[in-house]
Amino acid sequence: MLQWISNVFGRWSYNRLVNRSLEVENPHVYQFGGRWGAHISWEDAWETGRVYGHHYRLPRFGDVVEIPAQDGGTIIARFIDVRLMSSPKDMFLGTLHFVE
């Protein structure tokens, strides 16, 4: 649907529309990696955007993850899907969308 809208209104790119829909008020910013009890790691290859983690503050849709890049920079991604696990209660599975 968003791709169709993008084609109709050529002035917006698909990614801009997706990124705007992910904007939430006061998103929490997480650091990729971390330590025991507060970490985010890749579930599969990074291209899939699927992550898992344990954190005392569970992520929500639109929250931000800062991922260190190999060149020393930072890659920004947002949660587009978060599934909370029942055991342990601080575990989650999520999907990230990489922001331009």
In a domain, residue 79? The reply is: yes
Cβ 11 vs Cβ 4: under 8 Å:
no
pLDDT tens, position by position, 55-97: 989 999 999 999 998 899 999 999 999 999 998 999 999 999 9
Nearest to 33 by CA among 62, 73, 61, 69: 69
Cβ 23 vs Cβ 60: under 8 Å:
no
What domain count does the chain have?
1
DSSP state letter for 46 = G
Structure tokens that stand for 45 in this block: 């290859």
Per the structure, the complete domain to which residue 93 belongs is given by 27-98
In a domain, residue 50? The reply is: yes
What is the pTM (predicted TM-score) of this model?
0.72
Supply the CATH number for residue 70's domain.
2.30.130
In a domain, residue 13? The reply is: no
pLDDT tens, position by position, 1-38: 444 444 444 444 444 444 555 567 788 999 999 888 89
- E strand or H helix at 89: none
